[in-house]
Amino acid sequence: MNYPHPLIAREGWPFLAVTAVIALALQSFDLTFLSVLVWIFFLFELQFFRDPPRYIPSQANAIVSPADGRIVAVERVEDPYAQRDALKISVFMNVFNVHSNRISMDGEVKKVAYFPGLFVNADLDKASTENERNAVVIQTESGATVTLVQVAGLIARRILCYAKPGDKVEKGQRYGFIRFGSRVDVYLPPDSVPKVAIGDKVSASSTILAELVG
């Protein structure tokens, strides 16, 4: 599931290859203006599919962000995937954020569930329950439950998840990808201590979202 960081995510290689071929073909026919437009789109794809290595905090009880982006929710809710009260922290990713998703805490995958749905703006609260999404329920080594939910957005049309029930996963491990613009909801034990606030910018694997108690 984890793989060496080639700086450009493997999910982007086919897109980049096709775009480059189209741009070169246009150049060969002296269609300079169209070729320039396609090369500009190639640069957009290049930044979208970047996948840089990240620092991972060693603090044992730290829950790290599963995605780059901006915090849009910190609230007490019910976790519908693990049927429990929870602290939910949501990270919204725009098209300029890194879209590689990372595991928030060491543990074992207990459940993976996909739900078809809508594609409303992922910045809206209703996206958590109405949009297409994929939930991964993890039991940590201390027995706590952490649920990561990849949520498709207005432009996103593909959620990729490589985690499977029974997998042993590590904090910061790469487990999925979403194309293009989306959000990830993190459901934690209700007594977890949040370390971020709405509007904060966060980085996958590096930013501590919350700390588990006990």
What is the block-wise mean pLDDT of the chain (214 residues), using blocks of 10 residues? 69 93 94 95 91 89 96 95 95 89 96 84 72 93 94 76 95 88 91 96 96 88
Residue 38 lies in a domain: yes
- What CATH number did the domain enclosing 156 receive? 2.70.70.10
65 noted as active-site residue: no
Do 145 and 189 form a contact (C-beta atoms < 8 A)? yes
Identify whether residues 129 and 36 lie together within a single domain: no
Identify whether the C-beta of residue 183 lies closer than 8 Å to the C-beta of residue 151: yes
- The predicted pLDDT at position 95 comes to 82
Residues 83 and 188 in one domain: yes
Q: Which of 65, 90, 128, 182 is catalytic?
A: 182
Task: Spell out the residues 6+ positions from residue 181 whose beta carbon is closer than 8 angstroms to its own.
Answer: 93, 94, 95, 122, 153, 154, 155, 156
Residues 31 and 97 in one domain: no
In this structure, the answer to whether residues 126 and 47 fall within a common structural domain is no
- Whole-angstrom CA distances from 142 to 81, 146, 189, 212 are 19, 11, 12, 10
* Domain identity same for 120 and 154: yes
Task: Judge if 137 and 189 occupy the same domain.
Answer: yes
Could you tell me the residue range of the domain that residue 187 belongs to?
62-211
Q: Are residues 171 and 68 in the same domain?
A: yes
Give pLDDT, residue 210.
97
Question: Which pTM value belongs to this model?
Answer: 0.87
Examine the domain organization and report whether 47 and 93 are in the same domain: no
203 shares a domain with 119? yes
1 occurs within a structural domain: no
Q: Mark whether 17 and 100 lie in a shared domain.
A: no
Question: Same structural domain for residues 24 and 71?
Answer: no
